[in-house]
Structure 1
Amino acid sequence: MSSGRAVAGIDIGGDQKGNHLVILRGTQIVCKLSQEAPEYMLEQCLQFEVAAVGIDAPCRWRIGEAGRQAEKALARQRIFSFATPTRELAMASKSGFYGWMFNGERVYDAFSPHFPVFKNGGEIGGRLCFETFPHAITCAFFGKEFASAKNKGTQRREILQREKIEITSLRSIDDVDAALCALTANYLLEGRVDVYGDEPGGYIVVPRFVRSK
């Protein structure tokens, strides 16, 4: 990882599980937090001079009846994610399922004044945050035919080890997923990513990993 800048990843959870933050500098984990308020995570990212923050949650709600282009584009690649509803539909839901998406919204609201949400095109200058998600990251490294939800703990740790990141302090899959989001931030700064979506629906960023033959 040659960007030389600190990067961060945030795994978004519901109210009970909470959010998890990992900050990387090179291959070293310099900060790891769990179940902290978005504002405190923001403070840590500013303190460590983080350049880019990958967030495992939708950066936009669906608009109208049509789904988000980013999710549709990934589905055409047979990489599937939870379908993001409109905010109104999520608010009306009685199941509580969308609580994690509202937690993600709170993270974006806290971060975006300091880390503007990624817009595709042009050079990356100042700080930014962006949407990504660990299953798509795993597909990038292993191939979608071999990425397995059943083996996600093993596969996702293997990705981090392959990238020379010390994983001893990552005690849960949520920590691991946050680290994968931070790893993707490094790939973005280095220009080695695939980007799915459009401006109205937001973009999903995934590492462009070329597997050896």
Structure 2
Amino acid sequence: MVILRGTSILSNVRRMTPAEMLRECLKFDVKAVGIDAPCRWAEAGSGRLAERELARQHIHCFATPTQEQAKSSPSGFYDWMLCGELVYHAFAAAYPLLNDREYEGNRVTFETFPHAIACSVLGRETVSAKRKLVERRKLLETVGINPLPLRSIDSIDAALCAWTAGRLVAGHARSYGDAAGGYIHVPDSAGQRCNPNRLA
């Protein structure tokens, strides 16, 4: 988990339980928490609108299954989505899910993910999977965040999610999806940085 104030890293912790993450966010008075996991499960027989809209923009994402499919998967592939569900639940009282296109100023959690962030900011339909570590480090540098303390791709991705939270708070994010299937929020561009006086 990474917490930013503007472009300064306030917290960078690799292993935390959802409850510990919540305490850390409250400690720093975080306003918005970007989570790299689906905020809604798919309904049987239909996918999520957000994922279809991203696909039309040539932005790939893993298709979210139903909750039952995730739990019954023999490969354990969807375990990261189930872990994300635990984070949303742990945060729900203090940081309810943003189930709207616009941020209205209260504490919220919201869904985002680093590949879509990178595609949005870099203005390209595809970003190389082989070069994602290099490209995402450069992306952080471009928006003014020093990537040197971030020693893993997970930390870099967490910083991108935190930066996107700042963009959301500042009103510089766009959304895909609908209330029924959940929204995915990404930064609208890299042209304006987070307001350094607001925490995200």
RMSD: 1.3
Determine whether 1:62 maps to 2:62: no
Task: Specify whether residues 41 and 122 from structure 1 end up closer, same or farther in structure 2 by C-alpha distance, changes over 3 A only.
Answer: closer
Determine whether 1:126 maps to 2:106: yes
- Unaligned ranges ≥5, structure 1: 1-20
2:120 alignment partner in structure 1:
140
2:80 alignment partner in structure 1:
100
CA shift for structure 1 position 210: 6.3
Task: Specify whether residues 95 and 44 from structure 1 end up closer, same or farther in structure 2 by C-alpha distance, changes over 3 A only.
Answer: same
**Distance in structure 2 (CA, Å) of the matches to 1:123 and 1:116:** 12
Letter matched to residue 132 of structure 1: T
1:182 alignment partner in structure 2:
162
Letter matched to residue 23 of structure 2: E
2:195 alignment partner in structure 1:
none
CA shift for structure 1 position 143: 2.4
1:16 alignment partner in structure 2:
none
Task: Specify whether residues 123 and 91 from structure 1 end up closer, same or farther in structure 2 by C-alpha distance, changes over 3 A only.
Answer: closer
**Distance in structure 2 (CA, Å) of the matches to 1:160 and 1:131:** 19
- Unaligned ranges ≥5, structure 2: 192-200
What's the TM-score once normalised by structure 1's chain length? 0.86
1:24-103 aligned within 5 A: 24-103=4-83
Determine whether 1:110 maps to 2:64: no
CA shift for structure 1 position 123: 5.0
CA shift for structure 1 position 200: 1.1
- How far does the alpha carbon of each residue in 1:43-83 deviate from its partner, in whole angstroms, 9 at most, with x for none? 00000000000000000000121100000100011101000
**Distance in structure 2 (CA, Å) of the matches to 1:123 and 1:111:** 17
Count of aligned residue pairs for this structure pair: 191
Runs of 4+ with deviation above 4 angstroms: none
